[in-house]
Each structure stands twice: as structure tokens, then as C-alpha cells.
């Protein structure tokens, strides 16, 4: 194992913490002032999502993090998050559309046809299990913001109706609930992004939809010096947590996609199960997704969000991850400050 996630160095202006803060750098936070402000605010690691942004943009941001962390006298680590294995929407004319409730959608993992008038024809980048799809099966897009219902299924083609519509775009995550298998091995996109991240000397590599010990071994061959994090987002991973904690240096409770693959009422219990498995397996535990979701727009958190952060700390989680809140939210510095303050308060409770 390559060590626990870094907490603030002794010369930090803030109270020393056990629980690390990971923040995502995205389109709205990749400039000098915001990166520097988040470092000063207590960020211990920055995450780069390899599904968005160019390699050039990521390289520039990595350079800024290193320069500014040195200026602040902080050790700040870097994580590259591989996203190639996640199933995504494709084939929208012009790359985006707005679907209304009741619209018809034809989904295929083959070639996309022109379709009839009033029918949206789109493609899934990964296949699903035809034998597990039934009328009424939910198809969830963009973390479930868009929902389709299967009306009819035949080999490789799903006839669907829009249950909850809105704007959609190519590249949004797509789940055929209960019928999507995780492909074995690293795909070409994963390997390309991993080699690029390794060339930058990042400290950690996270793999989406990790589901077997072999995944960890494959990553270790290509990135032997990095901390390897398996993202738990599928029932297969939940069934093999012990093997994953031995193959990876840490596991991430990726609640966004996990809540699409299992009933959402089971997610809190899955989170506890994963964190407990990490403690037993001496692996790093990270919990991610929607800790301060409302602060993408609002200046103050909700009471439920504050409670969520505190409970994760009290359960012994090693690190909490901010994604959209700092990647494209309007208040990244304020969001980091709120998370740090809640962590500090919760950790005082653990010392009582």
C-alpha cells in the first residue's frame, strides 16, 4: 500500500484533521485563484475526471496544483479518475437534445438509424443483457435525472418512452437498470488515459466500475507506483469487497452510479459495508457524490448535507470527495470551507 491520504501539513492554518478532503478540478475551478483558494481552504487531494477536459487542460491544472501547493507549504496529492468503462449515451444529432415526457426513444448498442418522425434514436456505448430486460425496466441517464421506461425489447434494441424528460447530451452516463454487466479488462480509453496520467506523475489512479481483483492487478502493471483506488459502483463489486481491498490500495463508495445499479434505499448500508471492509483490509476508504450538491448554486448547505458529512466522518471514512460541487459549481471555495468546518466539528466528537 502506498500510504494513507495526506492530511494538512503542520504549518497549515487549519486544525489538523484525520479525514482528507478531495476536490474535483473542472471547467469552473481550473484557474490559479480557485486552485490556490481551495488549497488554502484545506483540500488534500485534487481529482481529475478523465472523461471531461483535454489532456492538455489536465496537464496545465496539474502544473498549477504543484506550483501553488509549494507556495502554500502544503502537500497536495493528485488523482486521475478513469471513466472509460462507464456506459454512456451516444449518437444524438448535434450532440444534444431536449426530451419531453412521453417522447419515444429507440436505444441500441449497434448502429444508430435515422428513425421515424418523432422518435429519438440513440446509442449505448456498452451492451446490456437482453435476457434481463423486461417491459417497465428503467433506463437512467445522467445520474437518473432523465428516466426512460422500456416498452418493448428485442435483440440489441430497446423501444422506450420518456418518463422524466429534460436536456440530454452525448457522454452522459446511461444505466439499463439491473441488466448491465461490467466488461472485463481495461479498454483502450482507460489505457490511454492511465498512461497519460502516469506520465504526469499523479499520486493515485481511480478505476470506475472496478469489480474484480484482476482489475487491480491490470492497473498495477501499468502504474506500479501509484495508489490504486477501485470505485465500487456495481453489485458485482459489493459481492467481492474482500478481494478488492487486497487488490487495490483503497475503495471509493461512488454513490452516484451505485444508486443507479442497486435500490437507492440500500446505498447507506452499502456505504457502511464498503468502509468496514476497507478498515478490515487496511485499505483507504473514500466516500463520494452529492455531499454538498445544493452548493453547486447555493451559498449555504442543507441540514441534511451537513449531517451526511458528519456521519461519514463518525463512521471512520478516510476521505470525502467533492465532485460537481467544485468541478462546475458556482462556489468551489465556499464548498471546501463548509466541508472542512463540518469535518473538524465531527472529529472533535470522536475525541470526546
117: domain CATH number?
Answer: 2.40.33.10
Model confidence over 26-71: pLDDT tens digits?
988 989 999 999 999 999 999 999 988 889 999 999 999 999 999 9
Instruction: Write out the residue range of the structural domain in which residue 138 sits.
Output: 89-176
Whether residue 324 is found in the same domain as residue 214: yes
Q: Evaluate if residue 157 carries a pLDDT over 70.
A: yes
pTM: 0.90
- pLDDT of 1 reads 39
Is the pLDDT confidence value at 7 over 80? no
Residues 58 and 109 grouped into a single domain: no
Contact 170, 96 (CB under 8 A): yes
pLDDT for residue 115 is more than 80: no
Q: 287: Cβ–Cβ under 8 A, 6 or more apart, which residues?
A: 252, 253, 255, 271, 275, 312, 317, 319, 320, 321
pLDDT-derived band of residue 175, with 50, 70 and 90 as boundaries? very high
Same domain, 148 and 269: no
In this structure, the answer to whether residues 31 and 67 fall within a common structural domain is yes
Whether 190 is in a domain gets the answer yes
148 and 80 assigned to the same domain: no
Query: Given this model, what pLDDT does residue 187 score?
Result: 87
* Band (116; pLDDT cuts 50, 70, 90): low
In a domain, 2, yes or no: no
Q: Are residues 215 and 315 in the same domain?
A: yes
pLDDT in tens, 267-286: 999 999 999 999 999 999 99
Q: Is 105 helix (H, G, I), strand (E, B) or coil?
A: strand
Has residue 14 been placed in a domain?
no
CATH code for the domain of 268 = 3.20.20.60
**Is 6 a residue whose pLDDT tops 80?**
no
Alpha-carbon separation of residue 294 from 182, 199, 307 (angstroms):
31, 36, 14
Single residue among 152, 176, 200 that ends a domain in this structure: 176
Residue 2 has pLDDT above 50, yes or no: no
Cα–Cα distances (Å) from 196 to 139, 200, 264, in that order, read 33, 7, 35
My answer on whether 133 and 208 are in the same domain is no
Q: Are residues 331 and 222 part of one domain?
A: yes
* pLDDT over threshold 60, residue 136: yes
Please give the C-alpha separations between residue 107 and each of 89, 123, 157, 161, in angstroms, as whole numbers: 9, 5, 6, 10
**What was the pLDDT predicted at 8?**
54
Mean pLDDT for all residues in the chain: 91
pLDDT at 10 over 80: no
Residue 26 lies in a domain: yes
245 and 302, same domain (yes or no)? yes
Q: Are residues 33 and 107 in the same domain?
A: no
Asked if residue 13 is part of any domain, the answer here is no
| Residue 3 is assigned to a structural domain of this protein | no
Strands of the sheet with 138-141, listed across from one edge: 89-90, 119-124, 104-108, 157-164, 146-154, 138-141, 174-176
Q: How confident is the model at residue 193 (pLDDT cuts 50, 70, 90)?
A: very high
Residue 336 in this model has a pLDDT that exceeds 60: yes
Residues 304-332: what's their mean pLDDT? 96
Span 11-31, average pLDDT: 86
Residue 209 scores a pLDDT above 50: yes
* Final residue belonging to a domain, choices 114, 141, 176: 176
Q: What is the pLDDT of residue 15?
A: 78
Q: Choose one of 118, 144, 176: the last residue of a domain.
A: 176
Looking at residue 352, its pLDDT comes to 63
- Give the number of domains in the chain: 2
> In this predicted structure, what is the pLDDT of residue 20?
96
The answer to whether residues 274 and 241 touch, using CB atoms and an 8 Å cutoff, is yes
Does a structural domain hold residue 263? yes
Shared-domain flag, residues 134 and 275: no
Q: 206 and 340: one domain?
A: yes
Q: Is residue 67, in this structure, part of any structural domain at all? A: yes
Supply the pLDDT for residue 93: 85
Amino acid at each position: 500500500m502506498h500510504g494513507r491520504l495526506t492530511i494538512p501539513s503542520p504549518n497549515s492554518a487549519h486544525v489538523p484533521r484525520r479525514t482528507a478532503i478531495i476536490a474535483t478540478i473542472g471547467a469552473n475551478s481550473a484557474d490559479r485563484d480557485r486552485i490556490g483558494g481551495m488549497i488554502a481552504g484545506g483540500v488534500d487531494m485534487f481529482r481529475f475526471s478523465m472523461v471531461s477536459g483535454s489532456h492538455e487542460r489536465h496537464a496545465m491544472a496539474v502544473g498549477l496544483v504543484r506550483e501553488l501547493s509549494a507556495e502554500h507549504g502544503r502537500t497536495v496529492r493528485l488523482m486521475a479518475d478513469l471513466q472509460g468503462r462507464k456506459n454512456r449515451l451516444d449518437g444524438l444529432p448535434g450532440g444534444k437534445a431536449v426530451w419531453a415526457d412521453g417522447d419515444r426513444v429507440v436505444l441500441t448498442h449497434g448502429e444508430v438509424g435515422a428513425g421515424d418522425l418523432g422518435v429519438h434514436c440513440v446509442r449505448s456505448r456498452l451492451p446490456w443483457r437482453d435476457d434481463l430486460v423486461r417491459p417497465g425496466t428503467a433506463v437512467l441517464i445522467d445520474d437518473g435525472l432523465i428516466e426512460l421506461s422500456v416498452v418493448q425489447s428485442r435483440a440489441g434494441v430497446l423501444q422506450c418512452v420518456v418518463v422524466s424528460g429534460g436536456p440530454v447530451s452525448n457522454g452522459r452516463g446511461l444505466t439499463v437498470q439491473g441488466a448491465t454487466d461490467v466488461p472485463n479488462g481495461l479498454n483502450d480509453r482507460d489505457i490511454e488515459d492511465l498512461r497519460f496520467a502516469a506520465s504526469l506523475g499523479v499520486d493515485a489512479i481511480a478505476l470506475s466500475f472496478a469489480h474484480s481483483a484482476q482489475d487491480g492487478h491490470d492497473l498495477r502493471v501499468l502504474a506500479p507506483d501509484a495508489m490504486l483506488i477501485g470505485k465500487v459502483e456495481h453489485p458485482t463489486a459489493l459481492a467481492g469487497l474482500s478481494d478488492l481491498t487486497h487488490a487495490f490500495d483503497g475503495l471509493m463508495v461512488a454513490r452516484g452510479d451505485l444508486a443507479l445499479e442497486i435500490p437507492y434505499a440500500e446505498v447507506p448500508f452499502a456505504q457502511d459495508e464498503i468502509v468496514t471492509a476497507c478498515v478490515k483490509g487496511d485499505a483507504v476508504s473514500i466516500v463520494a457524490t452529492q455531499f454538498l450538491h445544493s452548493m453547486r448554486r447555493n451559498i449555504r448547505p442543507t441540514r441534511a448535507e451537513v449531517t451526511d458529512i458528519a456521519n461519514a466522518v463518525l463512521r471512520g471514512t478516510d476521505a470525502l470527495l467533492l465532485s460537481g460541487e467544485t468541478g462546475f459549481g458556482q462556489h468551489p471555495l465556499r464548498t471546501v470551507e463548509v466541508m472542512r468546518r463540518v469535518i473538524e466539528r465531527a472529529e472533535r466528537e470522536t475525541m470526546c
